[in-house]
Amino acid sequence: MKAMNNSFQYCPPSGPVTVIYRDDELLLVDKPTGLLSVPGKAEDHKDCLETRVKATFPEALLVHRLDMDTSGLMVFAMTRASQRHLGLQFERRHVEKTYRAEVWGEVSPDDGEVDLPLIVDWPNRPLQKICAETGKLAQTRWSVISRTERVTALKLMPKTGRSHQLRVHMLAIGHPILGDRFYATGAALAASDRLMLHAESLTIYHPDGGKRVKFKASCPF
């Protein structure tokens, strides 16, 4: 397993929160790469998306998270009832999520699915690992958007929401995500100065009335 980089320094991007959609029940925002979703334990890790959102929308309530290095769409609830409603949708896997990624190498065939159970790699946490004996169900569908000999653009559709799921699943099929400081090495790591993973869309049931709605955040790469 790749050794952890102890020289990492948290330098979150500046700028206002990008609001994608807002109503009385929902707030959808576009998280930039390099910003924590929630505060870290260290004092210099307090700046995060949740804190920035609450500075403008004090009533906003956290529903889910994205990895610090992942950019893209996050939904906040504007009421406690909506938070419970959305939380159950994530728990019961009623939320459809799509991601855009650029991975190292020429991926073939045009689509497929990874079904490999994941569990935290305790000596190297927060890293995750595949373990058939103790891992939890983790499934990811993928399809090719475009490819070259060195890089393939993929649409990733996780059926489950395990920590680092997309990173580890892409590594497992031999195509690490570009710029992944946890799992990529060599040319795949050096190919990008950011993790090339973006949460592009969320499809949910609206807490008010139950209508199926889809939100998107444009991919920055």
Render pLDDT for 11-29 as a digit per residue (tens, 0 to 9). Answer: 999 999 999 999 999 999 9
How confident is the model at residue 2, as a pLDDT? 52
Render pLDDT for 55-105 as a digit per residue (tens, 0 to 9). Answer: 999 999 999 999 999 999 999 999 999 999 999 999 999 999 999 999 999
How confident is the model at residue 1, as a pLDDT? 47
pLDDT reading at 41 higher than 90: no
Q: Cβ–Cβ contacts within 10 Å for residue 132, how many? A: 7
pLDDT: which is higher, 42 or 198: 198
How far is the C-alpha of 20 from the C-alpha of 199, rounded, in Å?
A: 13
Please identify which of the residues 30, 67, 69, 180 carries the catalytic annotation.
Answer: 67
pLDDT, average across residues 101-118: 98
pLDDT, average across residues 112-138: 97
Taking the CA of residue 53 as centre, how many other CA atoms within 13 Å lie in the half-sphere pointing to its CB?
30
pLDDT reading at 3 higher than 50: no
pLDDT, average across residues 169-174: 98
pLDDT reading at 176 higher than 80: yes
Taking the CA of residue 220 as centre, how many other CA atoms within 13 Å lie in the half-sphere pointing to its CB?
14
Average pLDDT for the chain: 96
**pLDDT band at residue 6, thresholds of 50, 70 and 90?**
low
Report the share of the chain in percent with pLDDT over 70: 97
- What the chain holds in terms of domains, given with CATH numbers, is 18-216 (3.30.2350.10)
pLDDT, average across residues 38-59: 95
Residue 69 appears among annotated catalytic residues: no
